[in-house]
Amino acid sequence: MIDFVTIKEVKLKLGELCKSKRQSYDMSQEDLAEAIGLSRYTIQKFENGKNATLDTVLKIANHFALLKQLKKAIDKTIEDENNISLY
């Protein structure tokens, strides 16, 4: 399995997720921006795969109730780190 994932790809995916969630809530970019105290331009850029700050990403994730899921994933990754493979 030789499928590389690039940083750019992930940024585009994150933007896609934001757009997908936002539309499911019937919100415009303006609505979302206002709801979480960011400018529409920041949302606009994020949804199109541009660089952003962690705070921006997490504010969006928080608004769409994704923080718990994210924390769990991080916890699991840390735990996996400690369990040395038995094989």
Partner DNA sequence: TATAATTGTTTATTATAATACACAAAAATA
Partner DNA sequence: TATTTTTGTGTATTATAATAAACAATTATA
Query: Interface residues with its own copies (CB under 8 A)?
Result: 3, 5-7, 9-11, 13-14, 16-17, 20-21, 24, 51-55, 57-59, 62, 66-71, 73-75, 77-78, 81-82
Residue 47: name its binding partner from its own copies, DNA, none (Cβ under 5 to 8 Å by kind). DNA
Residue 3 DSSP SS3: coil
Least Å distance between CB 2 and its own copies? 11
Block residue for tokens 């608004």: 63
- 43: Cα separation from own chain's centroid: 12
Residues making up the chain, counted from first to last: 87
**H or E segment and range at residue 64:** none
- The residue among 7, 6, 13, 9 whose CA lies nearest residue 47 is 13
Given its own copies, DNA, none, residue 70, with its beta carbon under 5 to 8 Å by kind, binds its own copies
Window 22-61: contact mask with DNA (x via CB under 7 A): xx----xxxx-----xxxxxx-xxxxx-xxxx-xx-----
- Output 48 or 69, the one with its CB closest to DNA: 48
d(CA 57, CA 33): 12
